[in-house]
Structure 1
Amino acid sequence: MFSLFLFSQPTTGPTHSKMVVGYYAQWAIYARDYNVWDIDASKLTHLMYAFFGTEYNALHPEETKLYSLDPYADFQHNEGNHHYSEPYMGNFADLRDLKLANPHLKIIISVGGWTKSQFLPAIAENPIARDALAADMANMIVKYPWIDGFDIDWEFPLYGGTDGNEKLNGNVIPAQPHTTNDHKNLVYLLKAMKLAMPTKSISIAAGNNVAKASEQFIGPANRPAGMTEDLTTYCDFITCFGYDFGGNWNDKTCYNAPLHGSGNVNDPLHSADPKLVQSLENLVNIYLNDVGIPSNMFVMGLPFYGKIFENVGTQNPVPGFPGLFNTAPREPAIVKGCGLPQPPKGTWDAIDCESSGSVEFCDLAGDLGGSTIPTAGRHLLDPDNPSQLKASSIAAGWVKYWDDTAKVPYLYNATLHQFLMYDDEQSIDEKVKFILSKNLGGGMIWELSQDSRSTDPLPNRLLTQVNNSFSAMPSDITAIFKDASNAFIPGVAVTLTKL
């Protein structure tokens, strides 16, 4: 069959010991033209399939269950040339084939997400609903045995999430509800899942709110009085959003995923309290120290996208870094009759009043293959060497800068008054080095279709960098010492340093 040919021979997975968790979005099969068989699973340990929703009725909590947000994508399409007489179709059939070709890969269904977390507070609060949802998850694994577990992407417990002003495909996204016990109920939901699926993988995606993370998520260091359990009791690992620290909503240029704080008072991510500076370094330290998550369970997020700003001012408060921390007001909502001010259109933004301003690495460093891109695209980097701009980009006024404090790049065009921050191979390498320095469990990628494509000169460029950076870490060496009588000598430690 064609679908089996696509995946060729089984792979063995990464040679390093860290987790590499990659999100795959079910909607990537459409305009993005990125299918399950395009995934380079040899460089992943876990694949997060995003997303499934939940059904909940307060009058009948026993009927709580999962539901497919897109049955055609999940179970019906024939992109992989699966015959209609086969028992499985759609992405789930392709996931089965991916698993057959990559038996090391753990495939996990992610539940919730930014637009579909609204029922999670009520479900997690209700013991009957919790058990019903967990039982439905277990039943799905029986039906689709290549699924290895579930991830709860609750955005977010206690604070944050959608505010009721955003739209998706013309429909208002309901505001995210909260209860005062969301953080506790999340633990109880995970417990129900673990009891229903004791041998399967359970994980959560934790948020990036530096100021609130230690309230939203319970670990060994911040258990409320009377609680003897926490996230680490039931999770196999915990990922965190390592991105969306800054964006167009700041109406000021800044970084999406700074590794370290800038120390500049003009930075919208800055805080007078050093602990509240919005950066990956601070966020990781909060989860490890204030929440108490063991470092080897904690998986740091890595973005394969950035953000574009327009209408950038000329204040230039940082010498040598033009465009950085300058005003960049969004388009007023009234201009197009939108409910919110609008950022510039990103790579896939096709609908007015629904712009994200997100620009993906596959757009910056390639031609997106056969994708149907709704915008003109921003192919600014040299596809043969994405660390550099194209000659045509330079001629148009674009300049690349590297911020050695934040450890991220950005592009700036003073003539067009545009600023574009993103992650490249160098910044991904810096982030992986940080993961290794903190002995974290690994890295989590949002999202795989955002990487350079198979039609580009350098496909999967950022994922390859993740793999190479992890593979470059020194191997553990164990030295055993014995005395003259061949008896072991306890308490002797040796550190080997490469000079």
Structure 2
Amino acid sequence: MYRKRWQPALALCASLTVVLGLATTPAHAATTPTATFTKSSSWDGGFTGLVTITNGGATALNGWKVEFDLPAGTSVGAYWDSLLTRTGDRYSFTNRDYNGAVGVGASVSFGFNGIGNGSPLNCRLGGQPCEGGAPDTEAPSVPSGLTVSGTSANTISLRWNASTDNVGVTGYEVFRGGTSVGSTPDTTFTASGLTPETDYTFTVRAKDGAGNASAQSTSVSGRTGKPGTEPPGGRVRVGYFPQWGIYERKFFIKNLDTSGAAAKLTHLNYSFANIHPTELTCFAVTKPTSSNPADPDQGTGAGDSTADYVWPFDAAQSVDGAGDGGWAGAGPLKGNFNQLRKLKAKHPHLKVLLSLGGWTYSKFFSDAARTDASRKKLVSSCIDMYIKGNLPRHYDMGGPGSGANIFDGFDLDWEWPGADGHPGNHFGPEDKVNNSLLIEEFRRQLDALGASAGKKYLLTAFTPAAPALASAGWEMARVANSLDLFNFQGYDFHGAGSDNSWEPNRTGHHANLHTDVDDPYTTKFSVDVALKIYTDAGVDPKKLVLGVPFYGRGWQQVTDGGKKGEWQAANGAAPGDFPVEAGTRAYKNLKAQFPTVHHDEQAVAAYAFANGQWWSFDDAWVIGKKMEYVKAKGLGGAMIWSLDGDDGTLMTALDNGLR
């Protein structure tokens, strides 16, 4: 969505016009396209800037890109008539669909509000100097001083001395064994996803805005550490793995390894475990009389006990390439739990938590949390099953200790204490205090077990974005004393729902960062609104982890989504990835379906429209903006629901954004 936001005139000074990159040459003298910068107004601490692209060349422009640096202490706030990406202090503006064509002798402009008082430097228009004239063909100097600055079991960190250039270096490209593995605007880089105790060789080259590249530097070699060494410190990356993804989605634990996600994640939440409807314990089915996995008596266990520790993965689906064999016969643990063991062996920094509840399995939380005895019983049963690993027998799998040493703690996903959630949920006003008491009971029993085992067990929770839900069920300051992390919801602000019971008749942002000024609803949702719940309660920002979606929400029978933007009339949920999930689709599938994506730069949100379908989702641009927000607010990191929705694009954007 295109927005213009004009800064009020405060202490206005006379406008100042300079040609970007060369202040002494008038733009009208050039015989090639040029870009000029004007400070149309300024005030204490900021300015309004206007960039005018004039086509002084002999052929029309069919699209443009203006890039420049801003000095330390100056940055871009609001902007209009362009799309913006940022890498470090380098800002890249590209045309929108309505102003990309610039005829010979014609001009177009875009603007932005600057924070600070600096002016653009090292400008390039289409890779050439913004002042026009002869193209820049001089390459930067070769980077020097490349050295290894740190290692872990799966990473090697590098640093080097800055290169020089006749106009300006814009970034560096890093090579491992002669193959490009990434780019950075800085003189540091961390190569991830490496194999423990292995030697690697790296080189780096410098690039400028015109696309000139230096020769590669002298190589440096480094060796990764032994398994068990932690990755470099920083913000957490929490990802949810849905156990049912192994069926129709064909998304396996192995995919976390091969995609590079496991190397980037710090915490993996395996979802979900269930609560027994009458015993009010963590539970799984006992061995059935039938050995047929399609038997109708299946599916009554701890979420999905077949997927958890019975399903036999073949060699191609296994983390280490070793298959589990068939269904019949006694043997070692199979299923996702066995794959989690293998994944942890390969990525020992990764903490794996068992997530209890979720939308469907929150039905009996209220009953289980109601008394001191029921709380103690639930917690001890969950620890016995998932931490101590005493899994019930199922197809000759399971048994005492069979699931030990897999999980490092619990993630509690009660949706929602004190408020209605999934149809049939048990809930009541007493849930608010009982929720706190249940969390404290988990903390108490985990700490007692950890003291005897010499280990710290983790306790996290999935927490709401809606102030009403937080008020109904959460004593935030109290539970902060027991929780290691709050994975707070940053999505599902609007949607039609698979049964069209939610908001079927109007499109809207699903995961916007800021409150949209055009939002027609009385109650307005955004990440800003959600975060305020926790900061107002005094929760340590380092414990707050922003939830981001790797999926979108969509509507159908929308008439003009590309032109009108958001908040349009609709008629129900658009077809989803699966029949039971109307209105929901993985990002990787939306990316393939919609080559054109629109950005609401004020609210920070993405959407796409085609063939009557309108979808709201996070793309790499939105993820990048959100990670800047995480760092600016001093938050603990980011959380993903769910990992099966990505093709690697969003995970890379998230990881790079948190570095």
Q: What TM-score do you get using the length of structure 1 for normalisation?
A: 0.72
**Which digits, 9 at most, give the CA deviation of each residue in 1:345-397, with x for residues without a partner?**
211x22xxx443111112123xxxxxxxxxxxxx225xxxxxxx2xxxxxxxx
- Matched residue, 1:43: 264
For residues 152 and 141 of structure 1, the distance between their equivalents in structure 2, rounded to whole angstroms, comes to: 15
Residue 25 of structure 1 aligns to which amino acid in structure 2? Answer: P
Seen in structure 2, the aligned counterparts of structure 1 residues 115 and 123 have a Cα distance that, compared at 3 Å, is same
C-alpha deviation, 1:98, in angstroms: 0.7
CA shift, 1:323, in A, is: 4.2
Secondary structure of 1:211 counterpart: helix
Which position in structure 2 is the counterpart of 1:17?
A: 234
Larger Rg: 2
Displacement of 1:15 in angstroms is 3.4
- Between the aligned partners of 1:13 and 1:303, the Cα distance in structure 2 is 27
Contact 1:16 1:470 survives alignment (8 Å): no
Alpha-carbon shift at residue 82 of structure 1 (Å) = 2.4
Contact 2:429 2:472 in 1 (8 A): no
Aligned pair partner of 2:246 in 29, 53, 57: 29
Change (3 A) 1:212 1:142: closer
- Contact kept? 1:210, 1:278, Cα under 8 Å: no
CA distance in 1, matches of 2:460, 2:547: 14
SS of the aligned residue for 1:65 comes to coil
* Correspondence for 2:309: 75
Structure 1 contact 52–111 (Cα < 8 Å) conserved: yes
Task: Give the letter for the 1:153 counterpart.
Answer: D
User: 1:12: how far off?
Assistant: 5.9
Structure showing the higher helix proportion among its residues: 1
Letter in 1 for 2:351: K
Contact 1:13 1:102 in 2 (8 A): no
The structure with the largest strand share of the pair is 2
Distance 1:186 1:120 in 2: 9
The Cα of 1:100 is off from its aligned counterpart by 0.8
SS state at 1:429 partner: helix
Query: Residue type of the partner of 2:474?
Result: F
Across the aligned residues of Structure 1 and Structure 2, the Cα RMSD in angstroms comes to 2.1
| Cα contact 1:13–1:44 (8 A) shared by 2 | no
Note the alpha carbon deviations across 1:167-186, whole angstroms, 9 max, x for none. xxxxxxxx212111111111
Choose which of 390, 394, 412 in structure 1 pairs with 2:609. Answer: 412
Give the counterpart letter for 1:45 in structure 2.
T
Residue 654 of structure 2 corresponds to residue 424 of structure 1: no
**Post-superposition offset of 1:150:** 0.7
The answer to whether the 8 A contact 2:558-2:570 is kept is yes
Q: Does 1:241 align with 2:489?
A: yes
- For the 8 Å contact 1:323–1:419, the answer to whether it is kept is no
Once the two structures are superposed, residues 311-338 of structure 1 have per-residue CA deviations (whole angstroms, 9 ceiling, x without a partner) of 1145x8xxx95242111122xxxxxxxx
> Does residue 150 in structure 1 map to residue 410 in structure 2?
yes
Measured after TM superposition, the shift of residue 14 of structure 1 is 5.2
Aligned to 2:567: 325
Q: CA 1:12–1:404 in structure 2 vs 1: closer, same or farther (change >3 Å)?
A: farther
SS of structure 1 residue aligned to 2:627: helix
C-alpha change, 1:11 and 1:44, in structure 2 (3 Å) is farther
**Alpha carbons of structure 1 residues 16 and 461: separation in structure 2 relative to 1, 3 Å:** farther
1:360 aligns to what?
Answer: 586
- Alpha-carbon spacing, 1:180–1:433, altered in 2? closer, same or farther (3 Å): same
Counterpart in the other structure of 1:469: 657
The question of whether the paired residues in 2 share the 8 Å contact of 1:310 and 1:329 is answered with yes
CA distance in 2, matches of 1:235, 1:65: 20
**Of 435, 459, 468, the match for 2:630:** 435
User: Percent identity between the aligned chains?
Assistant: 30
C-alpha distance in 2 between matches for 1:422 and 1:207: 19
Query: Does the Cα contact within 8 Å between 2:446 and 2:457 map onto a contact in 1?
Result: yes
Question: Which runs of structure 2 are paired with 1:302-451 in the superposition (5 Å)?
Answer: 302-313=548-559, 321-330=563-572, 343-347=573-577, 349-350=578-579, 354-365=580-591, 379-381=592-594, 389=595, 399-413=596-610, 416-451=611-646
User: Residue 214 of structure 1: CA displacement?
Assistant: 3.2
Contact 1:214 1:286 in 2 (8 A): no
SS of 1:55 mapped into structure 2: coil
In 1, the alpha carbon distance for the partners of 2:304 and 2:194 equals 24
Post-superposition offset of 1:13 = 6.4
1:410 aligned partner, one-letter code: Y
Maintained 8 Å contact 1:208/1:242: yes
Q: Is the 8 A contact 1:253 1:324 kept in 2?
A: yes
Inter-CA distance 263–285: structure 2 relative to 1 (3 Å threshold): same
Give the whole-Å Cα distance in 2 for the aligned partners of 1:186 and 1:432. 30
Consecutive unaligned residues of structure 1, counting only runs of 5 or more, are 1-5, 164-174, 221-229, 331-342, 366-378, 382-388, 390-398, 453-459, 472-499
Q: CA separation of 1:356/1:218 partners in 2, compared to 1, >3 Å: closer, same or farther? A: farther
What is the match of residue 185 of structure 1? Answer: 434
The one-letter amino acid of 1:42's match is A
State the shift of 1:292 in Å.
2.5
Query: Structure 2: which 5+ residue stretches go unaligned?
Result: 1-192, 197-226, 285-301, 390-403, 448-455, 497-501
Q: CA deviation at 1:69?
A: 1.5
